[in-house]
Amino acid sequence: MVYDTLRKDEDLWMGVDLIIPVPLHRRRRWERGFNQAEVVAREIGKRAGITLARNVLRKIRNSPPQTTLEREERAENVREAFAVVRKEFLRGKVILLVDDVYTTGSTMGECARILLQEGAAEVRAITVAQA
């Protein structure tokens, strides 16, 4: 549904090299059994013919879920919570970052910041829903 809705947006897709889902911390992923952003990203990648890079960005700090926090606390909650573990995969690449829900943009902003800092040429972002 997400891809079908956005597929005609040529500016979004032009030049995208990799799709990266916003990662969950390994403990949260284990508790849930899957990463919902990764499920969406995988399907978008299949339909768009773009490589899914699921082990490039990692959540290194198990911070509380953003939904439990006030707006002002969210940016601080995700600050330095993510790291790039395969920098060579990013250099000069256009990244499509995928998450399930957009509320304040703190998570997407922090992920984009670290991806750019570690060598991505550009980061674009999509979500399934907005809270």
- If one counts the domains in the chain, the total is 1
CB–CB of 94/17 below 8 Å? yes
CB–CB of 107/61 below 8 Å? no
Per-residue confidence in pLDDT tens, the chain, 131 aa? 777 777 777 788 899 999 999 999 888 888 888 999 999 999 999 999 999 998 899 999 877 667 777 777 877 778 888 999 988 889 999 999 999 988 888 899 999 999 999 999 999 999 988 77
3-state class of 81 per DSSP? coil
Q: The domain containing residue 109 runs over which residues?
A: 2-130
3-state class of 24 per DSSP? coil
3-state class of 59 per DSSP? strand
Task: Give the CATH number, domain containing residue 52.
Answer: 3.40.50.2020
